[in-house]
Amino acid sequence: MTAGERRVKKLAKSTSVPMMPVRPGKTYPLSPLDHMMAAHTVHLVFYYRAAAAMEGTVLKESLSEVLTHYPAMAGRLGSGEDGNWVVRCNDAGVRVVDAKAEVTLDRWLETATAEEEMDLAHWEPMGDDTSIWSPFYIQITEFEDKGYAIGLSFPHMHADPTCAIFFIKAWGDAHRRACILNPPFFHPPGLRSSRPVPNPSSPFLSLKSLSSSSSSSPMSSATFVFSDSSLKSLISDHQSSSCPEATPFSILAALFWSRIAGGTGSRALTVGTDFRKRMHAPLPHGFYGNAIHFSAVTAELGGGVGSVAERIRGHVEGMEEEEYWSAIEWVEERKTAEGTYLPAFTMYGPELTCVNLEHVSAYGAVFEKGDGGRAAHVTCRFGGVVGEGVVVVMPAPEEGMGRTVSVTLPEDLTVRICRDEVISRYEPLVMFEG
């Protein structure tokens, strides 16, 4: 597709700054886990149907209001005394792109490819001068029927999807003049080990295997939306004595893992789990930064989807806080003699990675009062995916057990999975293929 054929026209770029200035000299150091995610970016797109309250100029006004609560988002990256990244909270603001789509929202949802969808989430990689580079880009796109898409792109080392979704939710709260229910919590020391010497008995996980480099063929994406009834049918078909308590995440992870890997034999899957609420002293929902734990689970794929799902469920539910601290300590050890973190490595890949985001209701980001203010669809994708790819499980627009599964896989594999007869049996709506 040539630039002249694109249905999204980017019209203008501006900067939104916090309504109230931060105190001079304020900085925010990135945590060990933040530094570990430097090889990736996050791209979120929220779709909303036509509403008077969603006019672009008014959205920018409420954006400035909510940025007052998020000084780190409006800052600029710089180097601290130890050579590691810090955010200089200088109210420089976030870049905002205004755009129009030459199509209605419904037609877009029916016909847009994955490549086109990323036209709704403007992104500019970091340049040589970080003092002028905005880590956060927000694109507000108006469709022909006055529907809107809000695209948010940012470096993963700044925040994870949970953090970003709560920012969009806070923006919606501010836009409706409502109380921000989950305000941001800035405390990077909360995820720094307090133990003077790493615990040698801590589970080491499999992070060393993740650090290996991996060549990758061209990647493509697709989205599968499973209804409440189709997911219940999937669970029912595979629920047995070997899988009595399947969860939506475990059954979908098992289904896609089995179909992507193909064949039988013992295989390994990397699982990404948000641990904010899994700590002995839970972190607030609004904890700013990264709180995703990557771990490896092995399963015999020949045992069937139900058996694999039970293996995944047991692995996720059996993780203990010590494992999270072990991973944090391991990252803290990866420093030079001067105390600078070593270069980050790929987390999404080389092995197939399945990320559980079903705990965050992206559809709670409401910009208009009443039922009509909920998003029509939400997409989450990661940049920098290599190797076997990534599968993301998150809630679907339909309430209940419905789930959205977004995949980023090698191109030929994406084509095959979109036409897989076992997955198709449960009649998911396939969107944004290619």
Q: What is the mean pLDDT of each run of 10 residues along the chain (434 residues)?
A: 75 96 93 95 96 76 96 96 94 97 97 97 95 96 95 97 97 94 86 60 46 69 97 90 83 97 89 95 93 95 93 94 91 89 90 94 88 88 95 94 97 96 97 94
The predicted pLDDT at position 5 comes to 80
State the pLDDT at residue 291.
96
Other CB atoms within 10 Å distance of the CB of residue 259: 17
Alpha carbons within 13 angstroms on the beta-carbon side of residue 270 total 25
Tell me how far apart the alpha carbons of residues 244 and 235 are, in angstroms, rounded to a whole number: 10
CA pair distance 297, 315, nearest whole angstrom: 7
Question: What would the two tokens of residue 193 be?
Answer: 């080990």
Which amino acid does the sequence have at 21?
A: P
- Contacts of residue 116, Cβ cutoff 8 Å, sequence gap at least 6: 1, 6, 7, 8, 432
At residue 204, the pLDDT reads 41
Strand order in the sheet with 41-48: 8-16, 94-101, 137-142, 148-155, 41-48, 377-383
Extents of the domains making up the chain: 3-191, 207-431
The enclosing H or E element of 166 equals: helix 161-175
Phi-psi region of 370 (alpha: psi -120 to 50; beta: other; left: phi over 0): left
207-431 has the same fold as 3-191: yes
pLDDT of residue 242: 67
Check residue 203 and give its pLDDT.
Answer: 44
Sheet holding 85-88, edge to edge: 27-29, 85-88, 76-79
Long-range contacts of 242-248 (CB under 8 A, 24+ apart): 242/303, 242/304, 242/306, 242/307, 242/310, 243/306, 243/307, 243/309, 243/310, 244/310, 245/310, 245/313, 246/306, 246/309, 246/310, 246/313, 247/309, 247/313, 248/358, 248/393, 248/401, 248/403
Q: Which strands sit side by side in the sheet containing 292-300, from one edge to the other? A: 292-300, 266-274, 353-356, 390-395, 403-410, 219-226, 429-431
Provide the pLDDT for residue 334.
86
Q: Tell me, what amino acid is at 349?
A: G
Q: Which of 344, 272, 336 is nearest to 34 (CA)?
A: 344
Q: Is residue 200 packed enough to be buried (19+ CB in 10 Å), middle (13-18) or exposed (0-12)?
A: exposed
Has domain 3-191 been given CATH number 3.30.559.10? yes
Q: Is the dihedral of CA 210, 216, 220, 224 positive or negative?
A: negative
CATH 3.40.50.2000 fits 207-431, yes or no: no
| Beta-carbon contacts of residue 414 (< 8 Å; ≥ 6 apart) | 219, 220, 221, 222, 407, 408, 433, 434
> Is the backbone of residue 146 left (phi > 0), alpha (psi -120 to 50) or beta?
left
pLDDT at 399: 86
pLDDT value of residue 246: 87
* pLDDT at position 154: 98
**Could you tell me where the beta strands, DSSP code E, fall in 193-301?**
219-226, 266-274, 292-300
Tell me how far apart the alpha carbons of residues 211 and 413 are, in angstroms, rounded to a whole number: 24
Q: Give the predicted TM-score (pTM) of the model.
A: 0.94
Per the DSSP assignment, residues forming a β-bridge with 382 are 42
Q: How many residues does the chain have?
A: 434
Q: How far apart are CA 31 and CA 12, in angstroms?
A: 34
Percentages helix, strand, coil for the chain (3-state, rounded to 5) are 30, 25, 45
pLDDT at position 205, please?
A: 44
Distances from the Cα of 266 to the Cαs of 205, 244, 299, in angstroms? 18, 22, 5
What's the alpha-carbon Rg for the chain, to the nearest Å?
Answer: 21
